[in-house]
């Protein structure tokens, strides 16, 4: 629908700067848009997402030439308008950011504004790694003429990064393990002593009493935790039930490194800890219920090996999620009560491609059990289940990528 002869103008460039390099210590992260084509259109009109996704993308790379991993944030900044131009509002602009062909986030620009900054994505890039991004932008189908006609958007990409701090391996004596020695069942060096018990009827505060440096086996409180691959010579394969947290407290972790070799993350394993990002390594197949409940995650990497995500596993955190193709089961409100604005599902065309399991009284009884219950996307979920085809636009949060 053409609302005016010249509806709106979107332009995205690096404002004449083709390469930005950020260096901190031995971190060297390069932003390269040498092959990028500016998003630059006159007479732009409101379109469906399916049409906007057919537009040529603005392509850029992040190249980590340093010797350390990096946390990074991709911003979309304003560029000063020319005389006589009026700003096109963020709630009129839709964008799609892909990495290597997979949608990381698709949303209105107004949904990613934080403290006057537009944060498109945050993540971790490893030393020597190159990540390729495609960014598409279009005027949203619901934009009115009053909102957008004869208005202009100009922007540029900015990337900020900080070195991932490498901590020493946490002493083995900080961890409790089960009889076979392959599952971590408690952590003794945190702000609370998370100790394994046979049962936990109420898990009151008495279950995780405050810890002191003198009580810690390491002689100090350790909240930046590097989980060892082996303890007492045994390979660790599972982070067990309430190993680092429970509803009576948490170990107070501010960062955690999960090693390769772990295949399962147990019930409430990291409940209510304080770290904001985590990489779940390849090889993990199961993340049980409440595993990261109320952990203030900004981003999480879910491995391709993942098969099952339990109920409320990521309850109360995250803004965008990419579900790997091998995932077959997602529990009730696994991503509920949070600020999710974009939910990408790889390798499937609809909820019918997920397994229905358990009885009707189980939180895992089916693919329509409310993965996003209580989240920003919840209002759209039921409608999407009724007509769950890729590109149907019934739920602007969920994106199927078969």
Contact 356, 319 (CB under 8 A): no
Contact 247, 271 (CB under 8 A): yes
Mean pLDDT of 64-81: 83
Give the pLDDT band (50/70/90) at residue 39.
low
Give the pLDDT band (50/70/90) at residue 306.
very high
Q: Residue 145: is its pLDDT beyond 50?
A: yes
- Between 152 and 215, name the one with better pLDDT: 215
Mean pLDDT of 83-91: 85
> Which domains are present in the chain?
8-163 (2.60.40)
Give the pLDDT band (50/70/90) at residue 88.
confident
Q: Judge residue 263's burial from the number of C-beta atoms within 10 Å of its C-beta, 0-12 exposed, 13-18 middle, 19 or more buried.
A: middle
Q: SS3 letters for the chain?
A: CCCCCCCEEEEECCCCCCEEEEEECCEEEEEECCCCCCEEEEEECCECHHHHCCCCCEEEEEEECCCCCEEEEEEEEECCCCCCCCECCHHHEEEEEEECCEEEEEEEHHHHEECCEEEEEEEEECCCCEEEEEEEEEEECCCCHHHHCCEEEEEEEEEEEEECCCCCCCCHHHEEECCCCCEEEEECCCCECECCCCCCCCCCHHHCCECCCCCCCCCCCCCEEECCCEECCEECCEECCCCCEECCEECCCCEEECCCCCCEECCCCCCCCCCCEEECCCCCCEECCCCCCCCCCCEEECCCCCCEECCCCCCCCCCEEEECCCCCEECCCCCCCCCCCEEEEECCCCHHHCCCCCCCCCCCCCCCCCCCCCCCCHHHHHHHHHCCCCCCCCCCCEEEEC
pLDDT at residue 359 in the model: 56
Q: Residue 239: is its pLDDT beyond 90?
A: yes
Query: Tens of pLDDT along 334-374?
Result: 888 777 888 899 998 877 788 876 655 555 556 656 777 76
pLDDT at residue 376 in the model: 63
Find the range with the poorest average confidence among 63-77, 93-107, 193-207: 193-207
pLDDT at residue 119 in the model: 92
Whole-structure pTM over 0.85, yes or no? no
pLDDT at residue 41 in the model: 45
Find the range with the poorest average confidence among 45-54, 237-246, 287-296: 45-54
pLDDT at residue 399 in the model: 82
Q: Residue 20: is its pLDDT beyond 70?
A: no
- Between 312 and 246, name the one with better pLDDT: 312
Contact 189, 167 (CB under 8 A): no
CA triplet 183, 227, 194: central angle to 5 degrees? Answer: 65
- CA 197, 203, 206, 209 dihedral sign is positive
207-221 burial, b for 16+ CB within 10 Å, e for fewer? bbeebeeeebeeeeb
Mean pLDDT of 218-241: 96
Mean pLDDT of 130-149: 85
pLDDT at residue 336 in the model: 80
Place of tokens 């579900």: 323
Q: Residue 243: is its pLDDT beyond 70?
A: yes
Backbone angles phi and psi of 378, in degrees to 5: -60, -40
Contact 246, 224 (CB under 8 A): no
pLDDT at residue 207 in the model: 61
- Between 81 and 104, name the one with better pLDDT: 104
pLDDT at residue 369 in the model: 62
Find the range with the poorest average confidence among 110-119, 212-221, 277-286, 353-362: 353-362
Give the pLDDT band (50/70/90) at residue 30.
low
Query: Tens of pLDDT along 266-293?
Result: 999 999 999 998 999 999 999 999 999 9
* Residues recorded for the chain: 402
Contact 323, 280 (CB under 8 A): no
Considering the chain, what is the average pLDDT of its residues? Answer: 79
Q: Judge residue 255's burial from the number of C-beta atoms within 10 Å of its C-beta, 0-12 exposed, 13-18 middle, 19 or more buried.
A: middle
Return the percentage of the chain with pLDDT > 70, whole number.
77
């Amino acid at each position: 629908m053409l609302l005016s002869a010249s509806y709106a103008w979107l332009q995205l460039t690096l404002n004449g700067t083709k390469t930005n390099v950020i260096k901190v210590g031995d971190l060297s992260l390069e932003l390269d848009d040498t092959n990028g084509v500016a998003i630059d259109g006159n007479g732009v009109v409101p379109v469906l997402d399916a049409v906007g996704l057919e537009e040529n993308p603005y392509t850029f790379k992040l190249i980590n030439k340093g010797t350390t991993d990096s946390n990074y944030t991709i911003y979309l900044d304003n560029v000063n308008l020319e005389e006589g131009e009026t700003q096109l509002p963020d709630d009129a602009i839709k964008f799609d950011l892909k990495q290597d062909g997979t949608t990381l986030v698709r949303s209105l620009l107004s949904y990613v504004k934080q403290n006057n900054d537009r944060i498109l994505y945050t993540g971790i890039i490893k030393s020597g790694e190159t990540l390729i991004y495609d960014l598409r932008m279009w005027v949203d189908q619901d934009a009115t003429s009053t909102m957008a006609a004869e208005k202009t958007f100009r922007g540029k990409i900015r990337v900020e990064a900080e070195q991932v701090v490498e901590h020493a391996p946490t002493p083995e004596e900080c961890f409790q393990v089960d009889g076979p020695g392959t599952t971590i069942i408690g952590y003794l060096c945190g702000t609370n002593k998370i100790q394994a018990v046979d049962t936990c009827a109420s898990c009151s505060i008495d279950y995780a009493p405050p810890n002191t440096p003198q009580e810690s086996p390491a002689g100090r409180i350790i909240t930046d935790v590097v989980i060892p691959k082996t303890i007492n010579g045994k390979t660790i394969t599972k982070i067990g039930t309430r190993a680092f947290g429970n509803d009576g407290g948490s170990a107070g972790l501010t960062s955690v490194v999960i090693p390769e070799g772990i295949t399962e993350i147990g019930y409430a394993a990291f409940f209510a800890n304080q770290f904001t990002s985590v990489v779940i390594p390849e090889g993990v197949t199961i993340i049980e219920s409440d595993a990261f409940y109320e952990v203030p995650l900004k981003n999480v990497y879910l491995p391709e090996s993942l098969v099952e995500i339990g109920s409320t596993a990521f309850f109360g955190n995250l803004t965008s999620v990419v579900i790997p193709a091998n995932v077959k089961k997602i529990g009730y409100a696994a991503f509920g009560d949070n600020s999710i604005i974009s939910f990408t599902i790889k390798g499937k065309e609809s909820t019918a491609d997920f397994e229905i399991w358990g009885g009707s009284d189980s939180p895992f009884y089916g693919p329509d059990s409310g993965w996003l219950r209580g989240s920003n996307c919840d209002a759209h979920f039921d409608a999407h289940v009724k007509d769950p085809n890729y590109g149907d636009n019934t739920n602007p949060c969920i994106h199927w990528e078969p």
